[in-house]
Structure 1
């Protein structure tokens, strides 16, 4: 089902002579996506899904269908020396019409004001066409006064998003160059923090060294700007994955989502937290929200599959994980989860074909046999092999799962306890893991790590997913302002101005644009453009039926009525009258 207050921002096309400006175009696109995502009642497709269509040449209507949006923003950027030109257009995915276009030409130094202007204008146009939601006065604030530092940051960001050890190290280099130009560039420090954290977690950098570098960047960043969602997010990894302090993790995730309710990392963290707690209904709320705003992310489908897996809905989990692997065949954790689903479903042929040419084949086959066959022995030689191996680098603990389902349950329990004592992320969901159920009967299992967050503590969490529309005008004031608005339109006829905007009306009524949008929506059950166009249509009918105007064309009469676009006029006329203007005129005159 398509949400009418929704948009996908496709990657802006690089129209500059320098092909290396691709990173700049991608960075500006992401900034606008992030800005629009701050508008609470507007569905904005996340970067991963929007960028899935880059250079694909897919029909806009098909893109809208896949992403579940009714509006797509296309644009192009031309950057030359110290100037930037951005062309933008909003497209209705139902019929492919361009219902709004605008060119922006500015000095490069004004790039942040320009991004804010574009984001606010786009949000306003969607609201004008599809109904009320509140828009903040500012969506983007200037992160640095140094444009060169900003461009270095965007280069670093383009590399970071490749998510490889090499690209992360290169990204850190660009972030550090940006910091050299602006020591107060908070976002660059936060970006470094994330890169170092990932390099340490993935084992591509000594863990203690990576943590020290991450903390150093955090200490500087928090002195510069704690209003960014990156600030509370930087504590989530520490509390959740390092310390298993679920209460503090929850507090900081909430802060991220209070700053930006559509923050992808915040939504994912909340889903993972609820999975670890076994609160699957709550986890599904956030998993579904993730898929709503980022439907083509393999990682999000993996998250959904994980919930189904822990609920032991293995068929549903397998469906979700198969789709995740079509989106990203290289997602390693998804490979392991599919392997587990096939084991529990006893799909031997599919299982054996799937694990061909993968790692840990011996362990995978043994785990399948232990779950689905009787009297399977685990050799002491294999156990010794695991003991000698560096278990710290095993992404998924096959050894633990095998021990837990064999005659070596006590050994498995000891190993599980050691992993929990070390707060190993591989077993953070140990109470939900089906392979560990046999260990639940062992004395001492209940005394393993206890969560410090309970269901009663998260009773208000659902409100973070979608803020309720605030009542910004009471019923009495709505009636008063309704009369004032009607008087203005009937007497002053502002709709004849083709450039009439919500801002112009708001200034006349001495209100802000949020209140005027809310007033029109509540009082007339219309969006702003339909309200204005209804007056324009009535005016067109009046002058079109006047014999004095018989010499004028239909389009000329439409322009005289305030319409500024042939497509907008024809579309609105057909929607209102279920007829074309020409047929309507002919039918009316023949009556």
Structure 2
């Protein structure tokens, strides 16, 4: 692997939940909120892999070794921190550590007025991004990353409270979150995020039948349209609109377009990519859906929902063994995840394992449903038509999986089953959006009604409908020979003749300021033209200086560490590690060999 390729693979990190040290668990929402803001800010940087919130928060309140976390998430860096609120002040401690070696790259403490929290989030995000770039290679960093669209602290705190519940993805909690978001708008009516979030919550809970569907979707549209007018760049706003179009109304093309708008604003939003995978699955574009599921699991590898999405894709294609493995992975992360539990039963049923099917079904379903599942098992695997028992049917249309509907199908109550399917399709019930590939509906597939429903819902969709336009990479202008020569000369002047490397606090940004060049341009030049990164370049100068002064008799009274500090190194570990890497010897061995 080339040096440059090695640098690229190391531009990855997880921001672990900042610890709440305020002594009041009611402030968890605030420390969690700051963590999410920093995650969201860093995901804006192209070329930087940032683990999504779900996987990051899987480690909340768990004393796990940083190296284990890095290995599990596939990242080489971790951000840890803590937050303490004392009266009107906020104290934040943050550090960036390599997960492969446990080596501390950066740490800092901040003590500010609580009102300064907005600027502080941006400052911390930029510092983290800078350190990644200095140590692992070029990335383009905007002048500002964390954008909070309010200056009203009270409104922001109510918003964070709401988001704390919203991001649980629990339907009851989402309804509760709406109340907090409404409080946020009371204190700042121009703050777009809580308005958008109200719409998003209504879109989810209405699409899944938690509240009246028609009324809920109307409210969702109202709030989302209002929020997007206030902030046309809200990726969550477009995600909410896509939720209504796709899950709520089965408008696949419109949902696809809105998901593209969402992902154009934030291509690393794993829920948006999951929505795209689900839409592609429902419409039969399995290969494209598989590509999306692999991407979301790279940035969010500990999400039970993402494993469900991948499992469902395989399940609908009849690959029950692979699907079962995915559902087991999902349930390992959350053993109460209902969708994965139901489809695990379905996979076991189609794999013909009756004992395991019924045993697992009994672990979370009532006797009536277990009886239905046994009847369907015998129909699928033994060609036994179940004896129809109308009392087993449910009038509840808000089930995760419609086992009683499948029971009708396999009892050969075809006319009743088709009438019910027609009713659910007309109502756009989200749970049966995949009906055209549902293996339980095989007995209905060749009926006239089924084909008419399939054609009415999916008939107008063409392969070109879901062509994904590749993001266009904007390349910075290359350096002319004259510019290169001038920049090399300027670097030599500042680093070699003026010995700026002796300053322990020298950073890429401060060096760029001295050279009167944008940090992005300087970073690109160092990486592309000098074939190294900022840290390696500066430490190389420091090493040369150390070797020069270490053999001078006039410095015999200084320790090796003292000489290292005199050369600009500010850490014993950095010095020893870099010295051994470049010379193959310890400092002591080198001194002995060169005296």
TM-score by length of 2: 0.92
Q: 2 CA distance for matches of 1:185 and 1:218?
A: 13
Deviations along 1:182-229, whole A, 9 cap, x unmatched? Answer: 111211111222223333344443333323433332343233222211
CA apart distance, 1:270: 0.9
CA apart distance, 1:246: 1.4
Q: 1 CA distance for matches of 2:411 and 2:584?
A: 71
Instruction: Give the structure 1 partner of residue 3 of structure 2.
Output: none
Query: Could you tell me which of 359, 371, 374 is aligned with 1:365?
Result: 374
Secondary structure of the residue aligned to 1:27 is helix
The answer on whether the counterparts of 1:33 and 1:46 sit within 8 Å (CA) in structure 2 is yes
Q: 2 CA distance for matches of 1:272 and 1:177?
A: 33
After superposing the two structures, state which structure 1 stretch, 537-546 or 292-301, moved more. 537-546
**Distance change in 2, residues 1:124/1:526 (3 Å):** same
The answer on whether the counterparts of 1:3 and 1:68 sit within 8 Å (CA) in structure 2 is no
After superposing the two structures, state which structure 1 stretch, 30-39 or 307-316, moved more. 307-316
1:7 aligns with 2:16: no
Secondary structure of the residue aligned to 1:392 is coil
Gaps of 5+ in 1: none
Q: 2 CA distance for matches of 1:242 and 1:152?
A: 28
Instruction: Give the structure 1 partner of residue 431 of structure 2.
Output: 426
Instruction: Give the structure 1 partner of residue 464 of structure 2.
Output: 456
After superposing the two structures, state which structure 1 stretch, 122-131 or 412-421, moved more. 412-421
Instruction: Give the structure 2 partner of residue 442 of structure 1.
Output: 447
CA apart distance, 1:63: 1.1
**Distance change in 2, residues 1:482/1:402 (3 Å):** farther
Secondary structure of the residue aligned to 2:151 is coil
After superposing the two structures, state which structure 1 stretch, 9-18 or 74-83, moved more. 9-18
**Distance change in 2, residues 1:222/1:110 (3 Å):** same
CA apart distance, 1:154: 1.3
Q: 2 CA distance for matches of 1:73 and 1:125?
A: 11
The answer on whether the counterparts of 1:45 and 1:67 sit within 8 Å (CA) in structure 2 is yes
After superposing the two structures, state which structure 1 stretch, 488-497 or 335-344, moved more. 488-497
After superposing the two structures, state which structure 1 stretch, 209-218 or 124-133, moved more. 209-218
Secondary structure of the residue aligned to 1:244 is coil
Query: Could you tell me which of 472, 476, 490 is aligned with 2:496?
Result: 490
Instruction: Give the structure 2 partner of residue 86 of structure 1.
Output: 92
Secondary structure of the residue aligned to 1:355 is helix
After superposing the two structures, state which structure 1 stretch, 523-532 or 10-19, moved more. 10-19
**Distance change in 2, residues 1:555/1:454 (3 Å):** farther
**Distance change in 2, residues 1:572/1:263 (3 Å):** same
Query: Could you tell me which of 369, 372, 386 is aligned with 1:378?
Result: 386
Q: 2 CA distance for matches of 1:118 and 1:426?
A: 42
Instruction: Give the structure 2 partner of residue 287 of structure 1.
Output: 293
Deviations along 1:140-168, whole A, 9 cap, x unmatched? Answer: 22321210111121122223334445433
**Distance change in 2, residues 1:477/1:66 (3 Å):** farther
After superposing the two structures, state which structure 1 stretch, 318-327 or 164-173, moved more. 164-173
Secondary structure of the residue aligned to 1:213 is helix
Number of corresponding residues: 582
Q: 1 CA distance for matches of 2:35 and 2:239?
A: 22
CA apart distance, 1:289: 1.7
After superposing the two structures, state which structure 1 stretch, 440-449 or 520-529, moved more. 440-449
Gaps of 5+ in 2: 1-5
After the TM superposition, which residues 204-353 of structure 1 pair with which residues of structure 2 at under 5 Å, given as runs? Answer: 204-353=210-359
CA apart distance, 1:354: 0.7
Q: 1 CA distance for matches of 2:563 and 2:97?
A: 25
Secondary structure of the residue aligned to 1:55 is coil
**Distance change in 2, residues 1:468/1:366 (3 Å):** farther
